[in-house]
Amino acid sequence: MPQLPDFRLETHLSRWEFTVPHHLTASDAQTMTMAELLALAGPEDREAWDTLALGYTETFGDPGLRRAIAGTYERVDEDDLICFAGAQEGLNLAMQVLLEPGDHAVVVTPGYQSAETVPLSLCEVTGVALDDRRDWALDLDAVEAALRPNTRVLSVNFPNNPTGALIDAADFTRLVELCDERGIRLFSDEVYRGLEQDPARTLPQAADLSEQALSLNVTSKSLGLPGLRIGWIACRDREVRSRLERAKHYTTICNSAPSEVLARIAITARERILVRNRGIIAENLPLFDAFFAEFADLFEWRAPDGGCVAFPRYLGADGVEDFCAGLVEEAGVILLPASTFRSELTPTPTDRFRLGIGRRDPGPALEAFAGWLRKR
């Protein structure tokens, strides 16, 4: 595979994330300690943890973990699943399995950088941008117009990172139908599913709607457990699953055995964890509302429909890049400026920044942020 460009988000975070006092751009929900997670374990999972032998595990993933994951779908069983080291490995290998030179892919923007750079390294790609003038709406007619006879993959992400946008379930179902009608694989990044502000807007999972679609998920985001490094792809096409297994033989081969047991505990207790994390977001939103109300001349703020990230607009004359640089260097508050999410496929806003709202007690970070703004 051709060399990929620098991953702007990871480069930025590697410089600042673990050295500044205030991480206000986190993409994950509040995490928990080992003790807190193990307290959620049932007797069988606790015994599996206490008696775990540290050998290799199955390439597809621990059977008990896959059974727990399958329980979160309607039509997916454990043999429709393959686990990975986080979502990034799954995304990367899926694109390599599904695309080759001469193919075409369509990617919705803005989004996580590798969702477009990996396909771009393999074939021709067309972007379809969410419309920031209409609350990040997706134009289904534009998606359909972008499809070609050689389109093999349509890649979407809802709730969206970085915007927090959702689409209606009817529109999502139409995307699935468009793909099935044309023999295209819908690749659906669903890592923020479960953190919708209105649970009635939770989208169905693509792998439940179509035997051809792929659903990507992970323990990192909605469950707030990125340290486990466990993600998965659900796809009812067993031939695709087999190809993903063979691709994984060239990367991680298998996952960490302790992480798989801990992930099994978390996914079994998924609803309790999601209730907790939605509660943290609900407690945080009034704090962010009050902050942006105080500085309404500098920002346009809209809470996300789902997930735990938002993409406010910065109105200052200095521009968002200098603004974010000054904030982290002078006040120790890290944000991700718009350039982190720029696209090679479509125009993307240049005046926004990603904000994380899923971590407990953002008050000190907001106080440092506000204090810096008042001194300018």
pLDDT of 268? 98
Instruction: Give the strand order in the sheet containing 353-356.
Output: 309-310, 353-356, 336-337
Q: Could you tell me if residue 203 is inside a domain? A: yes
pLDDT per residue as tens digits for the range 337-347:
999 999 999 99
Question: Are residues 262 and 297 part of one domain?
Answer: no
Question: Are residues 105 and 65 part of one domain?
Answer: yes
Cis amide linkage into residue 162, ω under 30° from 0:
yes
Decide the pairing of beta strands 104-109 and 151-157: parallel
pLDDT per residue as tens digits for the range 250-281:
999 999 999 999 999 999 999 999 999 999 99
Whether residue 173 has pLDDT greater than 90: yes
Q: Could you tell me if residue 291 is inside a domain? A: yes
Alpha carbon separation from 286 to 117, 293, 302, 362 (Å, rounded): 36, 10, 12, 11
Q: Which pair of tokens denotes residue 367?
A: 């106080």
Residue 322 is part of which domain span?
8-33+271-375
Could you tell me what percent of the chain has a pLDDT over 90? Answer: 98
Question: Are residues 263 and 281 part of one domain?
Answer: no
Tokens 């970070």 belong to 365
Contact 195, 186 (CB under 8 A): no
Q: What is the DSSP letter of 124?
A: E
Alpha carbon separation from 59 to 210, 248, 299 (Å, rounded): 24, 7, 47
Whether residue 180 has pLDDT greater than 90: yes
Question: Are residues 162 and 93 part of one domain?
Answer: yes
Contacts of residue 68, defined as CB under 8 A and 6 or more positions apart, other chains included, come to 263, 264, 267, 268
Q: Could you tell me if residue 61 is inside a domain? A: yes
pTM, full prediction: 0.97
Q: 3-class SS at 22? A: strand
Residue type, 38: L
Q: Could you tell me if residue 121 is inside a domain? A: yes
pLDDT of 295? 98
For the domain that residue 121 is a member of, what is the CATH number?
3.40.640.10
Question: Are residues 220 and 128 part of one domain?
Answer: yes
Question: Are residues 68 and 159 part of one domain?
Answer: yes
pLDDT of 85? 98
Domain endpoint, select from 249, 269, 289:
269
Q: Could you tell me if residue 112 is inside a domain? A: yes
Q: Give the residue from 2, 65, 16, 15 showing the smallest Cα distance to 259.
A: 65
Beta bridge partners of 104: 124, 151
pLDDT per residue as tens digits for the range 3-19:
799 999 999 998 999 99
pLDDT of 2? 62
Question: Are residues 114 and 28 part of one domain?
Answer: no
Contact 152, 98 (CB under 8 A): yes
Q: Could you tell me if residue 40 is inside a domain? A: no
pLDDT per residue as tens digits for the range 47-68:
999 999 999 999 999 999 999 9
Question: Are residues 148 and 190 part of one domain?
Answer: yes
pLDDT per residue as tens digits for the range 191-216:
999 999 999 999 999 999 999 999 99
Q: Give the residue from 60, 96, 58 showing the smallest Cα distance to 81.
A: 60
Q: Could you tell me if residue 245 is inside a domain? A: yes
Q: Which pair of tokens denotes residue 314?
A: 């910065």
Domain endpoint, select from 269, 295, 327:
269
Q: Could you tell me if residue 46 is inside a domain? A: no
pLDDT per residue as tens digits for the range 282-328:
999 999 999 999 999 999 999 999 999 999 999 999 999 999 999 99
Q: What is the DSSP letter of 137?
A: B
pLDDT per residue as tens digits for the range 148-164:
999 999 999 999 999 99
Q: 3-class SS at 107? A: strand
pLDDT per residue as tens digits for the range 131-146:
999 999 999 999 999 9
Question: Are residues 292 and 172 part of one domain?
Answer: no
pLDDT of 3? 79
pLDDT per residue as tens digits for the range 104-126:
999 999 999 999 999 999 999 99
Domain count, the chain: 2
For the domain that residue 347 is a member of, what is the CATH number?
3.90.1150.10
Whether residue 1 has pLDDT greater than 60: no
